């Protein structure tokens, strides 16, 4: 799925299961390697990391549809200026939150930490989890299209 505006682009795709052979372990059998390509005015980078379980991956499209429907609340920084994502996963590489909404558009935050963070941020303290964000301005049609793209990409990766 591609989340893109005139300034920023985040392209996310499931690549493969982390472990090709089913072992009977609910976690190991269902880790997906996610490919990410990011372009911002500060630079471009990519990553490929096992960072979503199959069930978590399906939550992404559901969350995008909820944003499009207007049922996700806008969140801002806390009293200390720290950002918390609306939806996050076992591995804190990728997360999402809603930064703003008006009648025509939303501003999504894609939180990128650890291996998903830009090269100039990697190695920073784990206390900085979720603090590097890429904001993308999207309309409802683009949100729904991204959710559909994501669901289609996941058809090859059922829960095992």
Which domain does 47 fall in, by range? 2-154
Neighbours of 41 (CB within 10 A): 7
Beta partners for 37? 11, 46
Q: What is the pLDDT of residue 78?
A: 92
Q: Per the domain annotation, does 51 fall within a domain?
A: yes
Q: Per the domain annotation, does 160 fall within a domain?
A: no
Q: Per the domain annotation, does 62 fall within a domain?
A: yes
75, 80, 82, 85: CA torsion to nearest 10 = -40
* Predicted confidence (pLDDT) per residue in 16-31, tens digit: 999 999 999 999 999 9
* Predicted confidence (pLDDT) per residue in 103-139, tens digit: 889 999 999 999 999 998 877 555 588 899 999 999 9
The average confidence (pLDDT) of the chain is 95
SS3 118: coil
Residues 58-65, mean pLDDT to the nearest whole number:
98
Q: Per the domain annotation, does 54 fall within a domain?
A: yes
Q: Per the domain annotation, does 145 fall within a domain?
A: yes
Q: Per the domain annotation, does 159 fall within a domain?
A: no
Q: What token pair was written down for 114?
A: 């650890």
Q: What is the pLDDT of residue 126?
A: 55
Number of domains forming the structure of the chain: 1
Q: Per the domain annotation, does 67 fall within a domain?
A: yes
pLDDT over 60 (residue 49): yes
pTM for this predicted structure? 0.94
Q: Per the domain annotation, does 108 fall within a domain?
A: yes
* Predicted confidence (pLDDT) per residue in 75-107, tens digit: 999 999 999 999 999 999 999 999 999 988 999
| Residue 110 near residue 134 (C-beta atoms within 8 A) | yes
Residue given tokens 């935050």 in the structure block = 109
Residue 6 is part of a domain; what is its CATH number? 2.30.31
């Amino acid at each position: 799925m591609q989340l893109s505006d005139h300034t920023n682009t985040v392209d996310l795709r499931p690549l493969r299961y982390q472990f090709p052979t089913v072992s009977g372990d609910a976690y190991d059998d269902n880790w997906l390697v996610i490919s990410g390509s990011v372009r911002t005015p500060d630079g471009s980078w990519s990553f490929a990391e096992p960072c979503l379980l199959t069930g978590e991956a399906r939550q992404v499209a559901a969350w995008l549809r909820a944003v499009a429907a207007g049922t996700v609340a806008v969140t801002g920084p806390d009293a200390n200026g720290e950002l918390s994502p609306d939806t996050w996963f076992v591995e804190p590489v990728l997360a999402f939150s809603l930064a703003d909404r008006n009648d025509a558009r939303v501003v999504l935050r894609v939180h990128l930490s650890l291996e998903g963070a830009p090269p100039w941020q990697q190695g920073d303290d784990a206390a900085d989890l979720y603090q590097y964000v890429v904001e993308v301005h999207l309309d409802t049609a683009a949100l729904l299209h991204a959710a559909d793209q994501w669901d289609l990409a996941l058809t090859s990766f059922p829960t095992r």
